[in-house]
Amino acid sequence: MNFSDSEIVASIMRARGYDVAEKADHADVIMVNTCSIRDNAEQRVWKRLRELKSLKKRNISLQIGIIGCMAERLKEEILEEHLEVDFIAGPDSYRVLPDLIEAAVSGQQAANVVLSEEETYEDIHPVRLHSNGVSAFISIMRGCENFCAYCVVPFTRGKERSRNPQTIIDEARTLFENGYREITLLGQNVNSYRWIDDNKDEINFPKLLKMVAQIDPVSRIRFTTSHPKDLSDELLRVIAENENVCNAIHLAVQSGSTPVLERMNRKYTREYYLNRIAAIRSIIPDCAISTDIIAGFCDETEEDHQNTLSLMREARFDYAFMFKYSERSGTIAAKKFEDNISDDVKGRRLEEIIELQQEISLQSNQNDMGKIVEVLIEGQSKKSTSQFMGRDDRNKVVVFDGIDLKKGDCVRVKITKCTSATLIGEIVS
């Protein structure tokens, strides 16, 4: 989502006469687009600011801005303690960035972190920053109203609001016409997408996904992310019935314990989540499923942790994003619960989660041995210029030898080897 927002910011700046600098040393303005989802993300921002402070000493006219969720969450702290920051803008204030910069140049510390109930930037044509020319993001909605206890997003990105579907379709069509072969529809919870058209008919996410898939039947469509409480059979059938909608679903579970899920305000139980996994397996048999897991949430017992491990064994995730719980000030959890699991226990539980997931991921990839998959080439392999890499429609990374190939080509690859993270194969005719 932040990557997509950066492309929107670049478009707004370009319309006011700015262009993207290749190096920070060459820039008149540097904006750090920030995330507050975990403490580690914010710590990286503070480190980056220290680096930029030395750059500003060498170029006193340089303007430095903090934009995004961290600007929304920590406005006062940033302005009071980090004098190298000249302006800040929250996620709904990007249209006024050029004006904020002008105010900063005149010597003012400028800020706008007002949240909007309407802003979707649907009329902005994003500048595709450092794009591989193959894959692109389209933001279909903004904000979140789930209020998971651990999460800052509803407070930093505001209420849910959906884009006009016609603007989404137009953006997708333009990308395909310009040679892109894959788009990802983005939202904090894409399943919450809702639009009422002029005829008072409702367009929900399954209908939108089908509309986008029909634009160019040979190009791939992905989406992220889905909330389990809203994952409908209707959506699963749209995926199953449209070959160009990728067989990959990211479905964050966070915990395998119903009491922990209740404290997290996730609005589903362990049993309900596993029911959704069973529905995916039934309707889309070859679908890859990824997830998010948090270790050591408030009051998590050893039994709760073991329930998470057992759910992982049952769900058989193809891959997962796994973290230790990081308390965020201002969230429901910070107000209601004590962060009472020691860092050592969190670390040990996270290690067990990671170790188990690596085993499951390896088994998942081993099951692909001998299969032939269609791979969309994204570029050369990082490890060898004689190899290419891409992803199959399940979002699995595939590496293979090849010549006379280029980004955007689709090739059929037979899987011959694997690691827990990567499929390795050879091109077949």
| pLDDT, tens digit (0-9, with 9 covering 90-100), for 89-135 | 999 999 999 999 999 999 887 999 999 999 999 999 999 886 788 99
In Å, the largest CA–CA distance within the chain is: 65
Tell me if 91 sits within 8 A of 120, measured CB to CB: no
In this prediction, residue 198 carries a pLDDT of: 86
The string of DSSP codes covering 82-135 is -TT--EEE-TT-GGGHHHHHHHHHTT--EEE----SS---TT-----TT--SSE
CATH, domain range 372-428: 2.40.50.140
Task: Find the radius of gyration of the CA atoms of the chain.
Answer: 22
Report the alpha-carbon distance of residue 309 to residue 411 in Å, rounded: 37
Q: Identify which of 284, 321, 288 has the alpha carbon closest to the alpha carbon of residue 423.
A: 288
Burial class (CB in 10 A: 0-12, 13-18, 19+), 228: buried
Q: Identify which of 4, 295, 34, 5 has the alpha carbon closest to the alpha carbon of residue 150.
A: 295
* Segments in the chain below pLDDT 70: 130
Q: Identify which of 253, 288, 291, 287 has the alpha carbon closest to the alpha carbon of residue 272.
A: 253
Torsion of CA 353, 359, 365, 367, to 10 degrees: -120
Q: Identify which of 94, 120, 99, 95 has the alpha carbon closest to the alpha carbon of residue 110.
A: 99
Fold of 135-366: pyruvate-formate lyase- activating enzyme (3.80.30)
Q: Provide the 3-class DSSP secondary structure of residue 361.
A: helix
The string of DSSP codes covering 16-55 is TT----SSGGG-SEEEEEE--SSHHHHHHHHHHHHHHHHH
In this prediction, residue 83 carries a pLDDT of: 78
Architecture of domain 2-112: 3-Layer(aba) Sandwich (3.40)
CA distances from 240 to 1, 14, 199, 282, 396 (A): 26, 40, 29, 10, 18
In this prediction, residue 378 carries a pLDDT of: 94
CA distances from 119 to 69, 99, 317, 369 (A): 15, 18, 35, 47
In this prediction, residue 316 carries a pLDDT of: 98
In this prediction, residue 81 carries a pLDDT of: 83
In this prediction, residue 383 carries a pLDDT of: 84
* Domains 2-112 and 135-366 fall in the same CATH topology: no
Omega cis (within 30) before 301? no
Report the alpha-carbon distance of residue 151 to residue 155 in Å, rounded: 9
Q: What is the pLDDT of residues 223-275, one digit of tens each?
A: 999 999 999 999 999 999 999 999 999 999 999 999 999 999 999 999 999 99
Q: Where are the domains of the chain?
A: 2-112, 135-366, 372-428
φ, ψ of residue 324 to 5 degrees: the values are -80, 145
In the predicted model, what is the mean pLDDT of the chain?
Answer: 95
State which H helix or E strand residue 390 sits in.
strand 387-391
Sign of CA dihedral 66, 69, 72, 75: negative
